[in-house]
Amino acid sequence: MSALRRALARVHSFFHKPPLDADLEAEIATHLEMAIEENLQRGLTYTEARRQAMIRFGGLDMAKYQQREARGLMNLDILLQDFRYTLRSLGRDRGFTLVAILILALGIGANVAVFSVVNTLLLRPLPFRNADRLMWIAPPPTKCGQSCATYSTDAYDEFRTYSRTFQDVTGYFAFSGPGNLSLNRGGAPIPATSIDVIANFFQLLGVEPAMGRAFRPEDALNGAAPVILITDAWWKTQFNADPSIVGKAFDMNGTQTTVIGVLPKTFDFGAVFSPGAKIDAITPLNLYGPPRNWGNIITMIGRAKPGVTLAQAQGDAEAAEPHMCWNNNQPKTCGDYARHNGEGGVVPVPLKDYVSGKLRRSLVVLWSAVGTILLIACVNLSNLLLARAASRSKEFAMRGALGASRFRIVRQLLTESLILSISGAALGLAFAWLLLSWFAHQGAIALPLLSTLRIDGAALAWTLLIAVSAAVLFGLMPGLRMAGGSLYESLKDSGQGSGQSRKHDRIRSILVVSEVALACVLLVGAGLLLRSFLRVLSVDLGFQPEHAAAVKVDYDDTVPGDKDGSLTAQKRGVIFQEVIARVSAIPGVEAAGITDYLPLGQNRAWGTPWPLGIKRPDKTPGSPLVYVVSPGYLRAMGTRIRGRDFTWDDGPKSQNVVMIDKSFADYLAKFAHWPNNDPIGQLLDTSKDGGRIVGVVDDVHEESTEGDTGWQIYYPDTQASPSAAELVLRTTLPPATLAGSVLRTLRDINPKQTVAEFKPIQTLVNHANSSRQFFMLLVASFAALGILLAALGIYGVISYSVNQRTKEIGVRMALGATRSQVQISVLAKTFRLAAIGIAAGAIASLIVSRAIAALLFNTAPSDPYAFGAMVVLIGIVALLAGYLPARRASNVNPMVALRNN
Amino acid sequence: MGETKAELKLDLLQGTLDLMVLQTLATIGTQHGYGIARRIEQVSGDTVLLNQGTIYASLVRLQQRGWIDAAWGTSDNNRKAKFYSITESGRKQLAKDAQYWQRLSDVMGRVLSMPAEGRPG
C-alpha cells in the first residue's frame, strides 16, 4: 500500500520538479539560518558560526541530490539529461549524424524488409482458420506433372469417407487455364480466370465471404443454377465495387451465372496455391457431372482433426491407398494410387510446407545476407564513433575529472548510439515499407503469399530488437574505450601522432578489414547466384522464347448429334486452319500454330503409350505430358522436328499420328528394338489401330527451366480433343506490336472472341525464372550495399589517418618527399587493409559458398569467376576509396601543416 | 584526526535514520527538519554520524509513504519553516519497526555475548 503510494508520489515529483526544488531550497535555507543562529548564541563569530553550520549539514549539493533521488525518478532524469545532451551534440555534428542515420537506415531497412518476407512466407501461418491443421495431400512430384499430383473424383470420395484422421477433405480442379472464363456484358467479351472448387472448400479453409454466402452442396449438383463467387479485386475492377452485386446474374461462358458472394480481401487463391497467377472468381465443381470421367483432376486439401499428428495423418492416408480406385467401374484400377518404389501414394504434408517449404533455403540465405549487411553497418558505425570519440576524448576526460563515473559516461555514449539507431530504424522502416509495397505489387514474381506482404507487429518488434542490438553492438566498444582510457593520457594527448591515437588507428584498421571481409562474402554469394541465374537463362529450353507470343483463341466446335466426335474434330480443324491462315497473312508473322497447353504452365498426362505389340513392364517411370497441337505449332515455337510435322490431312478418319520427344523415344527404343532404334514410322498403342510416330522432336522444358525435361507426346487437334486453344505466332517484329492486328483478326473470325491477353512467350520463361531472379537481385543489391559501406569504411579510416598525420606528411615533404611518394604511401596502406580483408573474405566465402551450394545451378561453389570478380571489384573500390585521401595528402602544404600544429 | 572522530561515531545502517525520525516525531510532536536533526544528535549523545542534510531525503521518503505529514508554518523566532508530524499509519509503522529492531538487537546481543566453547574453563 505505502509502496504504491510512494511510487505514485515519485511519478508526481518527476513532473513537478521546479516547485519541489524551490521548496527544498527554502527548507535548507531555514535549516542553515537556525543552525547559524544557535552557533552565534554559543558565542561564535558569524564566519565561524556559518562554517560550523555548513560542516554539520554536510555537502549541500549531496543533500539535495539525495533528496531528489529519494523523491523522484532519478534514472529517468538522467536519461532525459543524456537525451538532451546527445541531441545537442549530434546537432552540432550534422554530417556525422546524417551519415550514421543513413547507414543504419539502409542496414535496418533491408533487415526489416527481408524479415517481413521471411515472416510472411515461413513464420506466419497461412491466412486460414487454424491453418496448422491444413494438409496438402498429393504424391511426391514425378515425371508426369499435374496428372500424377491429382486424384480422380472416385478416389477423392473414397479417401474422404475412408480416412479417420481428417475432419474433412476438399479440393479443386487443377487444370483450369488462365482466361477460362469469358464475361459478356455487351461489347467484346472480357477474359477472366476462375477455379472450380469442391463445395466444402471455403468451409474447410475457414474463409467467410465478405458479402453473400459461400457454396452449398446443392450448388454443385447436376442441374443446379450456375453460381459464382468473385474475388475482392475483380469485384472492384470489373464491377466497380457494386454493393448490391450479390444476387445479380451475368453472362459467363454463355450461361447466366449468379454472383452469390464476394470473397474477403485477404483471400487470394493464386498467392497460396498458384503463385504469380491472378484468379478472378471461384466456381463450384460438380463432382457428379462430366468431371466424373475426366481421370485425375482433383488436388486434395484436408483438415486434420485436432490433436492429430502428421505421422498419424500419413499413416491413415497410406492405409486408405488400397481402397482408392481411379475409376470405380474399372476394378483393376483399384489400388492404382498405392505407393510403389517411393513413387505415387497419398501423402499429406502440412499445407504451409507445400506452399513455401521449397523457399526455406533461399530465405535463410537472404536472411543471412541481410544480417551481414547489418553487421557491416554496425562495424562502420563503430568506426565512425571511434573517430568521433577520439576527437571527443578530452571532453570525456574533463567530465571524468569533474566527477562523472565511468558508468555514467558509458551510459551517455550508449544513449547516443540508441538515439542514432532508433532514428535509423525509423527511417529504415520507411525504406522497408516502400520496398515491401513494391514487392507486394510484383504479381509477375512466382513467389507464394507475396501479395500479403506487410509490416506487422512482429516486424515492428523485430525492428526494435535489431535497432537496440545494433546500438549496443556499435556503441559499446567505442563507449568502453572512451570511458576506459586514462584521464591523464587523454588530457595530455594532443590527439595527433601520439600513442592513444595509434591504438585507435589499429582498432579501426581491424574493423575495416572485417568490414571488407564481410563484403567479400556477400559479393561472392551474389556472384555465384548471378552466375547460376545466367546459366539458367542459357539453358536450351527446347523452344525459342524470343520473338514469339501466344494468345488464347475462343472457338465453338460443337456439332449437335456428333456420335464419335469426328464431326467436331472436323469442324475444329476447319476453324483452326482458317485462324492460322488468316493470322499468318498478317505482315510480320513468320509462323503460327495452335496448342492447348503452353510450356512452363499447365500440363497433364494420359498414361504411358507403348509400342504396339511389345510387352509393357509392370511400372513405368512417369508418363509423357500430353499436348494437342495443330500443324505448324512446333515451328512457331521454334522446336525442331525430325521426321514430319502434322498436316491438315491427318484428319479424324485417317491414320492416327503422334509425335514424341527424343528422351521418350530413347526410353521406348530400349524395349521396342526398332530397326536402327528409329521410332519414326512405328506404331504406339494410343488408339485402336495404333498411332504412327511421324516425328521426333526436341526435349522441351515443360515444367521448369531448371529441372529435367521430362517426356512429351503430341497429338493433332483433328484426332484428339484439346482442352483450349493457344495461338502461338513467331514474328520478326517485337511481339507486342502485333497484338492489335491479331486480336482484330480473331474477332473478325469469331465475334465472341474475348479481349485476351497477348503474352510474349518470353514472359512465360521470365515468370518461371522470377523467383530465382528475385533472390539473385536482392542478394546482389545487398552485396552492392555491402561494398558501398566497406568503401565508406576504408575512406573513413584512411582519411582520418591522413588528417592525423598531416604534420608528419608535412615534415616528410619538407625533407624532400615528392607528391607521388606521399600518394603511394597512403595508397599502400589502403591496399594493405584491402588485401588482408580480401584474403580473410575469400577464406570465409569458400566456407559460406559450400552452404549455399544447393541454391546454385550448374555453378561450382568455388567458381573462379565469382571469386575473381570479387577480388577485382573490391580491389578497385578500395583503391578508389583510398585515392581521395591520398590526393589530399599529396596536396599538403608543408609550411601550412607545420605552422598549424 | 578526522579518522579517529569517525571511528567513535556510529555509521547509520540502511533504514535506521527513517526509524529515528519517526521515533523523534512521535515523542516531541510537530517539528521542523533542523529540530529533528538536532534532537537525534542530542539523544544519541553525538555518537551518531549524521550529516544533517541527509535528513531531508529521509523526510521526503516518509512523507511519500504517508507516515508523516508536512506543512509550512512559523517557528518560535518567526522564521518560515516546514513542520513535520507523524500520522496514524506512521505510528503503526513505528511500532512495527521498533519491535523489529528490539528483537534484532536482542538476538545480536545474545549472539555476540556467546561464551567460547570447547575450551577448558
- Are residues B67 and A2, on separate chains, in Cβ contact within 8 Å? yes
| Amino acid in the structure at residue A31 | H
Q: Is A421 among the domain residues? A: yes
Domain encompassing residue A426: 359-537+767-900
Identify the sign of the CA torsion A562, A567, A569, A573.
negative
Are residue A692 and residue A806 in the same domain, yes or no?
no
Alpha carbon distance A640, A644 (integer Å): 10
Closest CA of chain B from A62, distance in Å: 8
Q: Which residues pair with A137 in a beta bridge?
A: A300, A348
Confidence of residue A503 (pLDDT cuts 50, 70, 90): low
- For residue A488, what pLDDT band results from cuts at 50, 70 and 90? low
Residue B57 lies in a domain: yes
CA–CA dist B40, B35 (Å, integer): 9
Global pTM? 0.77
Q: Residue A492 — pLDDT band, cuts 50, 70, 90?
A: low
Q: How far is A16 from chain B (nearest CA, A)?
A: 14
| Contact (CB<8Å) A10/B52 | no
Domain boundary among A689, A724, A753: A753
Residue B118 included in any domain? no
pLDDT of residue B6: 40
Instruction: List, in order, residues 6 or more apart from B27 with CB less than 8 Å away.
Output: none
Whether A116 is covered by a domain: the verdict is: no
* pLDDT at residue number A735: 84
Phi first, then psi, for residue A422 (nearest 5°) are: -70, -40
Work out the pLDDT band at A900, boundaries 50, 70, 90: low
Residue in A closest to B64 by C-alpha: A6
- The answer to whether residue A714 sits within a structural domain is yes
Please say if the pLDDT value at position A258 is more than 80. yes
Scanning A610-754, the segments in alpha helix (DSSP H) are: 633-637, 662-672, 739-749
Distance from CA of B82 to the nearest CA of A (A): 6
**Cα atoms in the 13 Å half-sphere on the side-chain side of A567:** 7
Please indicate, yes or no, if residue B69 is contained in any of the structural domains.
Answer: yes
Write the DSSP symbol of residue B30: S
Q: Is residue A605 part of a domain?
A: yes
- pLDDT for A845 equals 94
**Angle of helix B33-43 versus helix B55-64 axis, rounded to 10:** 110
Considering only CB atoms, A30 lies closest to which of B60, B65, B81, namely B81
Distance CA A19, CA B25 (A): 26
Closest CA to A513 of A873, A792, A793: A793
The answer to whether residue A60 neighbours chain B at the CB level (below 8 Å) is yes
User: Helix count (H) and strand count (E) of chain A?
Assistant: 26, 22
Q: A364 and A253 in one domain? A: no
d(CA A468, CA A226): 58
Q: How far apart are CA A798 and CA A885, in angstroms?
A: 6
pLDDT in tens, A28-50: 999 999 999 988 998 889 999 99
Q: Which residues sit opposite B72 in a β-bridge? A: B82
Tell me if chain B has a CB within 8 Å of the CB of A40: no
Q: Higher pLDDT residue, B46 or A162?
A: A162
One domain, residues A741 and A771: no
For an interface test with B, the pick among A24, A27, A33 (most B C-beta atoms closer than 10 Å) comes out as: A27
Tell me whether strands B31-32 and B80-86 are parallel, antiparallel or unpaired: antiparallel
3-state secondary structure of A181: strand
Distance CA(A772)–CA(A571), nearest Å, equals: 44
CB contact under 8 A, A70 and B58: yes
Pairwise CB contact (< 8 Å): B52 & A5: no
A895, pLDDT greater than 90: no
Q: Are A364 and A276 members of one domain?
A: no
Closest-CA distance, A69 to chain B, in angstroms, reads: 8
Identify the bridge partners of residue A197 per DSSP, sorted by sequence position.
Answer: A172, A284
Q: Strand (E) positions, A721-845?
A: 726-731, 758-760
Distances A13 to A280, A358, A481, B82 between C-alpha atoms, Å: 62, 59, 36, 18
Are A709 and A683 within one domain? Answer: yes
Tell me which residue has cell 506482404: A453
| Count of C-beta atoms within a 10 Å radius of residue A162 | 17
Ranking A426-435, A444-453, A565-574 by mean pLDDT, the lowest is A444-453
Distance of CA A225 to the CA centre of its chain: 42
Helix (H) or strand (E) holding A262: strand A255-262
Q: Based on the fold, state whether residues A319 and A181 are members of the same structural domain.
A: yes
Q: Do both A199 and A170 map to the same domain?
A: yes
Q: For A825-854, what is each residue's pLDDT tens digit?
A: 888 988 898 999 999 999 999 999 988 888
Assign residue B87 the CATH number of its domain.
Answer: 1.10.10.10
CA distances from A423 to A97, A105, A630, A743, A785 (A): 10, 8, 63, 54, 19
Tell if the CB–CB gap between A35 and B52 is shorter than 8 Å.
Answer: yes
- Domain membership of residue B30 (yes or no) is yes
For residue B73, the distance in angstroms to the closest alpha carbon of chain A comes to 11
Average pLDDT over residues A714-731: 93
Tally the residues of chain A: 901
Residue A629 confidence (pLDDT) above 50: yes
* A27 vs B: CB within 8 A: yes
SS3 of residue A677 by DSSP: helix
Long-range (24+ apart) CB contacts under 8 A made by A474-477 are: A474/A378, A474/A379, A474/A381, A474/A382, A474/A385, A474/A417, A474/A421, A475/A382, A475/A385, A475/A413, A475/A414, A475/A416, A475/A417, A475/A418, A475/A420, A475/A421, A476/A410, A476/A414, A476/A417, A477/A382, A477/A386, A477/A507
Domain edge (last residue) among A321, A346, A371: A346
Mark whether A186 and A283 lie in a shared domain: yes
Residues of B whose CB is below 8 A from A31: 32-34, 37, 52
Which stretches of chain B score pLDDT less than 70?
A: 1-14, 48-49, 117-121
* Pair (A771, A749) in one structural domain: no
Q: What's the domain count of chain A?
A: 4
- Give residue-wise pLDDT tens across range A424-439: 999 999 999 999 998 8
Q: Is residue A803 part of a domain?
A: yes
Among residues B83, B109, B107, B43, which one has the least CA distance to residue A34?
Answer: B83
* Whether residues A532 and A585 fall in one domain: no
Whether B121 is in a domain gets the answer no
Report how far apart, in Å, the C-alpha atoms of A816 and of each of A166, A449, A627, A894 are: 89, 68, 83, 10
B79: containing domain = 2-112
- B34/A37 touch (CB, cutoff 8 Å), yes or no: no
Count: domains in chain B? 1
